[in-house]
């Protein structure tokens, strides 16, 4: 096991003037680890990655890479960095160089490879990310997904021992997320050691063999994906996972009628879980009917309704609930009237089940349907 040690982090602390995102991080990363780093924003995920290659200098603590303490001022960090690849959210390709030169620069300058050797390596990598046809293009001519694929090839060009991905797909439009995730998954399959900060739970689950849930100034929960995603041991992790699997919105009449934005969000949210399009369309239709029903018969003066859409991956269960602010008295008579409306009848066609329960503070009831 100890032979396998790649990075050892001891008592890592990083303070900024106003916040201290990392209090005391102690963790060992082994060769072959594919670590998904998840957690609410602002919990130091990026900071952790950037400390590992010293883009941020830790306030205290040690980071030992391949037996060498890189926080030691005598350490030649530039040499170590060639072993620590990094892929950024915003690609950061060298804009003045062609795609192939982006993949050659570090090889010829830092690893002293010949131009020929560097070129061949670059082309091979570009082929593996499907970008060989763009070798002589400039970054500005590429789409986001293409840029990120080149950025991955560039990172691989120095044969790093670990790749640090910081939200590699967050800046991409939803349709091109897949092409980049595919490449990362392929790398994972080849046994490449990597740490990847991501919000794509399903993606993280599918490629990782270890998950860091970051919160409270450090790695709050560290375990295999089955544990962290499905049976988190700790309270905060559970809450986060639940929230992640949930699309929550507050709608008012002003937003109403034109539900296109809502549909887009629903689409984005559900496609994370690889749910087929037909089912998503059905959810959207149900959503619209549900919304109309609530708005017409239930909602109160301020026309406000809290909507939440949740997905339970384990049981493949989808629930949609709406909690309208309401002043009507919800007695038998009211429900009878409700059940006779056209909207309600249509809704029944979509629904697998129906629940009516006490809602959170301030709101009368929450209506939930299973889809």
Partner 1 sequence: MKRLLPVIIALCILVASFILLPKSEENKKDSDLLETQLNEYIAKMKENGETDELEKYWVTEYDRGNAEVDKSGITGENGKIIFAAEASFEPACFAGEGGELQGFSIDFIYRFCREYGYEPEIKCYEYTAMNDALSSGKVDIAVGVLEDEERAEEMTFTDNFIKFDIIAVYDSAVSNGFNSLDELNGKKVGIQSGTGYEQYLEVAIPDAEPVFFGDFASIYPALQQGKIDAMLTESVSFGVEKTEMPSFVAIDGSLETMPLRTAVAKTDDGGTFLDNLQNSFSKTFLRESRWQMFVKGVGITLLLTITSAVLGTILGLLIYLWCAHGKKAETKFTNILCWIMNSTPTVVLLMVFYYVIFGSYTISNTVVAIIAFTIHFACIFYDHIISGVKAVGNGQVEAGRAQGFTQDQTFFKIIFPQAAEHFMPQYQGSIVSLIQETSVVGYIAIMDLTKMSDLVRARTYEAFFPLLATALIYFLLIWVLTSIVKFISKKIDKKNRKKEKILKGIKLS
Ligand X SMILES: Nc1ncnc2c1ncn2[C@@H]1O[C@H](COP(=O)(O)OP(=O)(O)O)[C@@H](O)[C@H]1O
Instruction: Return the structure tokens found at 57.
Output: 């200098």
User: Distance between CA atoms of 35 and 88, rounded to whole angstroms?
Assistant: 16
Residue 113 binds which entry of partner 1, Mg ion, ligand X, none, with Cβ cut-offs from 5 to 8 Å by kind?
A: none
Nearer to Mg ion, 48 or 309 (CB): 48
Shortest Å distance, C-beta 167 to Mg ion = 6
Nearer to Mg ion, 47 or 155 (CB): 47
Footprint of ligand X on residues 2-61 (CB under 6 A)?
A: 16, 19, 21, 41-47
Shortest Å distance, C-beta 305 to ligand X = 30
Query: In the stretch 228-257, what mask flags binding to ligand X with x, by CB under 6 A?
Result: ------------------------------
273 is an interface residue for partner 1 by CB under 8 A: no
Nearer to ligand X, 60 or 114 (CB): 60
Antiparallel, parallel or unpaired: β 246-252 and 365-370? unpaired
Which range touches partner 1 (CB under 8 A), out of 31-39, 110-118, 328-336, 342-350? 110-118
Residue 42 binds which entry of ligand X, partner 1, Mg ion, none, with Cβ cut-offs from 5 to 8 Å by kind?
A: ligand X
208 is an interface residue for partner 1 by CB under 8 A: no
Which range touches partner 1 (CB under 8 A), out of 85-93, 202-210, 288-296, 327-335? 85-93
Which range touches partner 1 (CB under 8 A), out of 76-84, 171-179, 244-252, 333-341? 76-84
Shortest Å distance, C-beta 237 to ligand X = 15
Shortest Å distance, C-beta 234 to partner 1 = 32
Which range touches Mg ion (CB under 5 A), out of 41-49, 54-62, 114-122, 361-369? 41-49
Q: How would you write the chain as a 3-class SS string?
A: CHHHEEEEEEEEEECCCCCCCEEEEEEEEECCCEEEEECCCCCCHHHHHHHHCCCCCCCEEEEEECCEECCCCCCCHHHHHCCEEEECCCCCCCCCCCHHHHHHHHHHHCCCCCHHHHHHHHHHHHHHCCCHHHCCCCHHHCCHHHHHHHHHHHHHCCCCCEEEEECCCCCCCHHHHHHHHHHHHHHHHCCCCEEEECCCHHHHHHHCCEEEEEECCEEEEEECHHHHHHCCCCHHHHHHHHHHCEEEEEEEHHHCCCCHHHHHHHHHHHHCCCCCHHHHHHHHHHHHHHHHHHHHHHCCCCCEEEEEEEEECCCCEEEEEEEECCCCCCCHHHHHHHHCCHHHHHHHHHCCEEEEEECCCCCCEEEEEEC
Shortest Å distance, C-beta 197 to ligand X = 6
Residue 16 binds which entry of partner 1, Mg ion, ligand X, none, with Cβ cut-offs from 5 to 8 Å by kind?
A: ligand X
84 is an interface residue for partner 1 by CB under 8 A: yes
Residue 43 binds which entry of ligand X, partner 1, Mg ion, none, with Cβ cut-offs from 5 to 8 Å by kind?
A: ligand X
218 is an interface residue for ligand X by CB under 6 A: no
Backbone angles phi, psi at 55, to 5 degrees: -65, -30
46 is an interface residue for Mg ion by CB under 5 A: yes
> Across-strand partners of 215?
218
22 is an interface residue for partner 1 by CB under 8 A: no
User: Distance between CA atoms of 219 and 291, rounded to whole angstroms?
Assistant: 40
Nearer to partner 1, 101 or 343 (CB): 101
Query: Binding residues for ligand X, per CB under 6 A?
Result: 16, 19, 21, 41-47
Query: Binding residues for Mg ion, per CB under 5 A?
Result: 46
């Amino acid at each position: 096991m100890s032979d396998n040690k790649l990075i050892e982090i001891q008592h890592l602390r990083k303070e900024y003037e106003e916040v201290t995102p990392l209090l005391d991080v102690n963790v060992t990363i082994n060769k072959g680890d594919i670590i998904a780093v998840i957690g609410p924003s602002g919990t130091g995920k990026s900071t952790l990655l950037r400390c590992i290659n010293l883009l941020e200098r830790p306030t205290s603590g040690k980071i030992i890479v391949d037996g060498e303490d890189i926080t030691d001022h005598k350490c030649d960090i530039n040499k170590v960095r060639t072993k620590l690849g990094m892929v950024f959210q915003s690609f950061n390709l060298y804009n003045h160089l062609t795609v192939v030169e982006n993949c050659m620069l570090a090889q010829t300058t830092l690893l002293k490879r010949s131009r020929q050797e560097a070129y061949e390596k670059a082309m091979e990598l570009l082929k593996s990310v499907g970008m060989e046809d763009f070798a002589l293009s400039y970054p500005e001519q590429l789409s986001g997904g293409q840029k990120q694929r080149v950025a991955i090839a560039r990172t691989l060009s120095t044969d790093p021992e670990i790749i640090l991905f910081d939200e590699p797909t967050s800046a991409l439009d939803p349709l091109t997320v897949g092409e980049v995730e595919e490449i990362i998954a392929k790398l994972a399959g080849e046994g490449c050691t990597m740490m990847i900060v991501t919000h794509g739970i399903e993606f993280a689950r599918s490629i990782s063999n270890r998950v860091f849930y970051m919160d409270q100034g450090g790695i709050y929960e560290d375990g295999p994906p089955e544990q962290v995603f499905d049976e988190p041991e700790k309270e905060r992790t559970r809450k986060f996972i639940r929230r992640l699997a949930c699309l929550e919105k507050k709608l008012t009449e002003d937003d109403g009628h034109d539900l296109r934005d809502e549909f887009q969000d629903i689409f984005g949210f559900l496609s994370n879980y690889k749910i087929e399009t037909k089912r998503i369309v059905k959810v959207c239709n149900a959503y619209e009917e549900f919304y109309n029903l609530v708005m017409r018969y239930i909602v109160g003066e301020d026309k406000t309704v809290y909507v939440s859409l949740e997905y339970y991956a384990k049981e493949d269960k989808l629930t949609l609930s709406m909690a309208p602010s309401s002043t009507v008295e919800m007695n038998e008579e009211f429900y009878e009237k409700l059940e006779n409306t056209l909207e309600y009848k249509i809704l029944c066609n979509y629904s697998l089940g129906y629940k009516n329960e006490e809602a959170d503070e301030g709101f009368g009831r929450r209506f939930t349907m299973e889809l």
